[in-house]
Structures are given as C-alpha cells and as structure tokens.
Amino acid sequence: MRRRREKTLSEADIALWRQVARSVTPLPGRAALPPEEPAAAPVPPPAEAATPVVVVAVKPTKTTPPPLAPLERRLRTQLRRGTQSVEAVIDLHGLRQDAAHAALCAFLRREQARGTRLALVVTGKGAAGDAIFGEERGVLRRSVPHWLRLPDLRPFVVGFEEAEQRHGGAGALYIRLRRHRESGA
C-alpha cells in the first residue's frame, strides 16, 4: 500500500485557510469553534515569487426556472377533440419583430395575472410572396419559440408546442403559462 505524500502548505494557502475559517458561521445551536490552523510543514522558499490568490464569492441572484416541458398527451388529445379550449389568443400577424416581442411580453404578463393556463399565439406561416429584396419568410414563426426560451419570458412559460391544425397548425403555438405568484408570499 502506497503512502500519500505529505503536502506542504505555502504561506498563501495558510492565509487563505485563515480567511475561510473566519468567514464560516456555526449552525444554529452550535458554539463557534476557534479556527484550527492547518498542519503546516516547513516550506522551502519558492524559486519564484508567489502570485497572490484572489477569492471571489459569487452569490446567485435568482434561481433559474425549470426546463420547458411539452404539453401533456392528455391535454393535446383534449385540444384535438375540442373538449379543452384555449383561454386567450394573440395574433401577431403584420407586426414587426420589436412590436411583436413587446406585444407578446405584455400578453403573457397580463394573462398570467388573470390566471390563464393555456394561450394561443398566432404567428402565421409566412407566405412565399413575402420575400422581397431578400427578406426571410416566416420571421415571427421562427422568432417566437426562441423568445419563449429566453430568461425574460421563462417566468411566464411552462412550455409550448405547435398548435393543432384547427387552431392554426404550424402558424400558431399553444403556450402553457405558469401560475402567478404574488411577491412577498
């Protein structure tokens, strides 16, 4: 069985340990223990000057929402059969990207506050005659799913999928909205 080599700590390591030990707070009901010094063996002087160690503590500002989830099979079946209806609809036809994005954000915010669980966003499919001077067709059709995945809209969206043919097919999206959480609750 091989023995571990004794690791010697440098002065920078010892200083870092002392800093960490001072910053630790004991659990509730436990007494604070004096910080123990790590065992330090004599260290030979380094051949080159040691670079200072900078420790930066990053505290997360907010938690990320869970990943987007597809619509449940049962809900899709109910939508296809017409036993479940869409609670709110927004039509983005004819809007430029910036106006469509602003309208979508306002719509999702408003509908979440109302308690809406299922919404329909109509983007249109983009017509072949729309491509003028090299412009791409179906810009909103491609952009809206991207916007729904961005962090600014994730607090509103549980998931989304392409709509059934009776609701617009490839030119529309079903969106499941998160429940509205009151701030301070």
Q: Which domains does the chain have, with CATH numbers?
A: 1-59 (no CATH), 73-177 (3.30.1370.110)
State the chain's maximal CA–CA distance in angstroms: 80
Place of tokens 């961005």: 150
21-25, 26-30, 143-147, 160-164 — most confident range: 143-147
Place of tokens 């299922």: 118
Whether the pLDDT of residue 8 is over 90: the answer is no
DSSP state of 120: E
Give pLDDT tens digits for 38-66: 555 555 555 555 566 666 665 555 666 66
One-letter amino acid for residue 25 of the chain: T
Helical residues (DSSP H) of 43-168, grouped into ranges: 73-81, 97-114, 139-149
Give pLDDT tens digits for 120-155: 999 888 766 555 555 556 888 888 998 988 888 888
Q: Residue 22: its pLDDT value, please? A: 76
Rounded CA separation 32/29 (Å): 10
Instruction: State pTM to two decimals.
Output: 0.58
Cβ pair 180, 113 in contact under 8 A: yes
Rounded CA separation 70/146 (Å): 15
Rounded CA separation 107/52 (Å): 52
SS3 172: strand
Q: Is 170 exposed, middle or buried (0-12, 13-18, 19+ CB in 10 A)?
A: middle
Long-range contacts of 33-42 (CB under 8 A, 24+ apart): 38/9, 38/13, 38/14, 40/8, 40/9, 40/14, 41/6, 41/8, 41/9, 42/8
